[in-house]
Amino acid sequence: MGQAFVFPGQGSQAVGMGKALAETYPQARAVFAEVDDTLGQKLSALMFEGPEAELTLTANTQPALMAVSLAVIRVLEAEAGLDLARDAAFVAGHSLGEYSALAAAGSLSLADTTRLLRLRGSAMQEAVPPGVGAMAALLGLDYETGVAVAKQAMEEQGGGAVCQIANDNGGGQVVASGSKAAVERAMEIAKSKGAKRALLLPVSAPFHCALMQPAADVMADALAKVEIKAPKVPLISNVLAAPVEDAKDIRGLLVAQVTGTVRWRESVTYMASKGATLFVECGSGKVLTGLLKRIVDTATGVSIGTPADIDAFKART
């Protein structure tokens, strides 16, 4: 059975995430301690106890979600004998989860990943003033229709307005991102094109669109100074929806990802087409496992974020 290990992105965070792992496994505690030390902040306390409003700040959410994902990987290595190089056909992550995937595959160190995600979260937050941008889920549209809707909305707004498809999540779920007025217009157009629903998302900035170019520039500078090794498992890139293993290519794609579409539907379809039948979601929540059912109904998804999940995975192997 081909296995793909996948890593969640923003929206999967919840107060209490990782706490039971830390209480049960020294490997998880070690990951959280290294992240705390790297940031000079007790991020683990924020993850375990809240407050939620502080945890959901992008600069905190991004390294926090990665920390839980890496804690799961380290525990699986110790408790279930996991060896990604041997046991995984692919790794992939949704948006910030791509960094978690690279850290799990040995391409980035935990400390560098932590610093990069703190910077990425801050830079994305600061790229667009509050209230200028928006994101909206367009439910019931396929990707091609979503792209046409975003293009029409941008053209109708004119004046340098931005509207792009930020996420193609599969199962008729696409997300538009850009200038607030253009995104709101896209919601109206989407309904006229057959969308079941169109709703604004409670996000702090318009991610994965051209308005994020200042953040992409920040990440280009930061990634140029970080050692990136070839991953021990092929990474399915958000931007390409195809495997990438060359460190130089990974660097450029991580920069492009800031303003580019997260092609999750195509990424999952690709992995399934190459023999992946079990998708193991490592970290907080079950968002990617839920999306899997809408993309490839013949594949099996399991999510691992608690000691009970670890035990269940051990029982499978």
Helix (H, G, I), strand (E, B) or coil at 235: strand
CA–CA dist 100, 110 (Å, integer): 9
Structure tokens at 96: 């910030």
Smallest CA-to-CA distance from 198 within 136, 274, 118, 130 is with 136
CA–CA dist 292, 303 (Å, integer): 11
Active site residues per annotation: 95, 208
CB atoms within 10 A of CB 197: 12
Q: What is the DSSP letter of 167?
A: E
Angle between helices 180-192 and 143-157 (to 10 degrees): 130
User: Per DSSP, what are the bridge partners of residue 244?
Assistant: 235
Helix and strand numbers, DSSP H then E, in the chain: 15, 10
SS (H, E, C) 244-291: ECCHHHHHHHHHHHHHCCECHHHHHHHHHHCCEEEEEEECCCCHHHHH
**Residues in the chain, total:** 317
